[in-house]
Amino acid sequence: MSGQSDVWRLSCFDELPSTSDYCLNACRSGHDAAGLAVLARRQTKGRGSRGRTWLDGGQGLALSVVLEAAQAGPDALGGWPFVASLGFYDGLLRAVPAAQSRLMIKWPNDLLLDGQKVGGILIEREGGYVLIGLGANLAAAPAQNLVARPVACLAQCGAVPDVESVARHVLDGLALWHGLWRQKGFASIRAAWLERAHPVGTPLVVQGGTTYEKGHFAGLAEDGRLLLNTEGGMKTIATGDVLLMEKGA
């Protein structure tokens, strides 16, 4: 898995409603969709996690890929978000190396630039396939009044290559980390993810549904669940929205 050309069949479109929907339809068509990668230079109905809409500030990355679910690592439980975020992180850094000290992964798979969201990942299952949708603000971020939280764009770190070049860097990153997952298991993915994520001790709030937990990031369980050190003791969290808090908050 040394390069994306060995793994992916990249199709580029000037405009699509949703790259993930395009891949979803391909999975349902009855043909082998594994290895499909779809890039749209403009996406009109992008989808984010938990039913949210993904807003593009213009000239952003809208990329979705299809993999066989059976191609996971030997201990696949919960591994896809971490593999995807590592590939995404490394791909954006290859595109703009100056972002090195400013880019960070937020559990489980958002990308932050200077603490503000710059990229997100949507992971879905369809039959025997896993679909991974990746969106990033490249040249510009959506207007702040249109989004709930502060957002950033990669251009804040320097010149950004053409979106197809960025996509190919991300595809290389996905291929690399997916291959390492299969070869070495989730422990190696977990260790690499922790090196690129918010540091242990970061104040966090996790919320979702009736859940509201406040504490400090204490690492990852062996299966990737979030460990949160709270006033009531250590909590292990499988899902939820994570907010990074200012120290002392």
- Note the pLDDT tens digit of each residue in 183-234: 998 999 999 999 999 999 999 999 887 778 999 999 999 989 999 999 999 9
Within this chain, do residues 32 and 105 fall inside the same structural domain, yes or no? Answer: yes
**Residue 122 CA: distances (Å) to CA of 76, 94, 168, 222, 227:** 17, 22, 18, 22, 22
Domain around 223: 203-244
* Cβ within 8 Å of residue 175, ≥6 positions away: 1, 2, 3, 4, 6, 7, 8, 87
Give the relative orientation of helices 163-184 and 186-196 as an angle to the nearest 10 degrees: 140
Q: Could you give the CA distance from residue 73 to residue 91 in angstroms, rounded to a whole number? A: 21
Q: How far is Cα 155 from Cα 162, in angstroms, rounded to an integer? A: 12
Kindly state whether residues 232 and 173 are assigned to the same domain: no
Q: What's the CATH code of the domain at 211? A: 2.30.30.100
Per-residue pLDDT band at 71 (split at 50, 70, 90)? low
Please give the single-letter amino acid code of residue 233. Answer: G
236 and 150 within one domain: no
Domain check: are 85 and 175 in the same one? yes
Regarding whether 208 and 128 lie in a shared domain, the answer is: no
Structure tokens at 107: 């559990």
Cα dist from 133 to 181, 196, 232, whole Å = 19, 20, 36
Based on the fold, state whether residues 63 and 132 are members of the same structural domain.
Answer: yes
What are the Cα distances from residue 68, in Å, to 43, 125, 164, 226? 25, 10, 24, 26
Q: Encoding tokens for residue 231?
A: 């006033």
**21-40: pLDDT as tens digits:** 999 999 999 888 999 999 99
Domain shared by 78 and 174, yes or no:
yes
- For residues 213 and 45, which has the higher predicted lDDT (pLDDT)? 213
The upper half-sphere exposure of residue 28, i.e. CA atoms within 13 Å in the direction of its Cβ, equals: 8
Output the domain CATH number for residue 119: 3.30.930.10
State the DSSP code for 35: T
- Same domain for 192 and 221, yes or no, is no
Domain assignment present for 22: yes
Same domain, 91 and 209: no
